[in-house]
Amino acid sequence: MSLIITGTGPVLVTESPSEYLWTPQGSGGAPVPPLLQATSIVVLDSVKSGNRVPTKDVYKQLLLPLLDSWNLSHRYVATTSPETIREVAASVSGAPTLLVLISGDTTITELVNSVARNATVTLLAVPMGTGNAFAHSIGLSTPLAAVHALTTGTTRALRLYEAVFEQGSQLLAQGGAQPVSSVRFLVVGSWGLHACLVADSDSPELRKLGNERFKVAARRVLEQNPVFHGSFRADGLAVENHAALSYFVVAAVPRFEATFEISPASDPAENALHVVYFHHQPPATVMEIMGQAYNAGKHVQDPRVGYLKARTVELEIHEQDARLRRICVDGLIVQPAGSSVLFRSVESTNLQYISPNKN
């Protein structure tokens, strides 16, 4: 439940499993809040994200009445394919734009990879995906909290990172593979068990399970429990040389899901990555370590887990089997050519995001 101050007066907004209810609490509207004074407002609804309840419509039941209360004009775009995200990204390169993304993390990543480098965009992440790592990490855990932040939130610089691949690498998409040299990300780059389970979980069969798809895919990968041989350096210093690893994640945010706190020291406001990794372990130990991540990120205190902060991470993959070489970048899967993959921070962008105002 939230009390939102709108252009026509305070409104009590409640949520049931099937809809959002908008109950006006009297008159006396507020002026247009600063975040809604953007020159251009675009709402991008990534309709394939998460497991949606058809009667519960964030746009029609929350955003539209809020924008209408000030008669704010805006453009609403529902995706018809992944191409829609690229089209919207291309269209926001002119005036400063408030871009409301009703989506999960992959849509945000696809957007930041296609938007012009000089575009001035403020993003609002309305969490409607399966994991919603970014929204949970910045404190916007529900669609209602995100919409409320339009009237009470504040803007912060969006910290971006990039994974850089050798020539000949391929981005694996449902429609086929395409060449890739780098991918920008804001949540995670990974190799090993994490990349395998994300890649394997993206089948039409497992997508139907929502968040459970990661657990089912993890169980299947762990039945094989492959070893991932490789080396890595952090900020130029060797950390592991020819190691036999199970898990290797470069995290940009603290949470991958509401309660899965993979990197408790990560701060979305800071331009830094954290490596979370461990050597090859039996399946039961892997499960035990990952289980601790659901307990307020306690796994990083486990002596078997390596945890370090870096701005640049150079990975060398010593595996030949294509399945064991896959890299995950915010849910996108890359088949790298050669052995090296570089994860690094992007110095600056014109992108911002809306965060709850906690100060």
Ligand X SMILES: Nc1ncnc2c1ncn2[C@@H]1O[C@H](COP(=O)(O)OP(=O)(O)OP(=O)(O)O)[C@@H](O)[C@H]1O
Residues that bind ligand X (CB under 6 A): 46-50, 79-82, 85, 103-107, 110, 129-132, 331
Please give the order of strands across the beta sheet that includes 9-15: 2-6, 9-15, 20-24
Residue with the shortest CB distance to ligand X: 104
Closest CB to ligand X among residues 82, 226: 82
Closest CB to ligand X among residues 47, 90: 47
d(CA 218, CA 197): 5
Closest CB to ligand X among residues 130, 355: 130
Closest CB to ligand X among residues 276, 328: 328
Report yes or no: 25 and 10 within 8 Å, Cβ to Cβ. Answer: yes
Closest separation in Å from C-beta 81 to ligand X: 5
d(CA 196, CA 45): 28
Helix (H, G, I), strand (E, B) or coil at 178: strand
Q: φ, ψ for residue 255 (rounded to 5)?
A: -120, 140
Beta bridge partners, 173, equal 176
Helix (H) or strand (E) segment spanning residue 289? helix 283-293
State the CB neighbour count (10 A cutoff) for residue 188. 29
Closest separation in Å from C-beta 48 to ligand X: 4
Closest separation in Å from C-beta 62 to ligand X: 18
Helix (H, G, I), strand (E, B) or coil at 195: helix
Pairing type for strands 121-127 and 97-103 reads parallel
Closest CB to ligand X among residues 44, 310: 44
Closest separation in Å from C-beta 106 to ligand X: 3
State the residue for tokens 């979980």.
201
Closest separation in Å from C-beta 126 to ligand X: 10
Closest CB to ligand X among residues 84, 231: 84
Closest separation in Å from C-beta 340 to ligand X: 27
Report yes or no: 274 and 235 within 8 Å, Cβ to Cβ. Answer: no
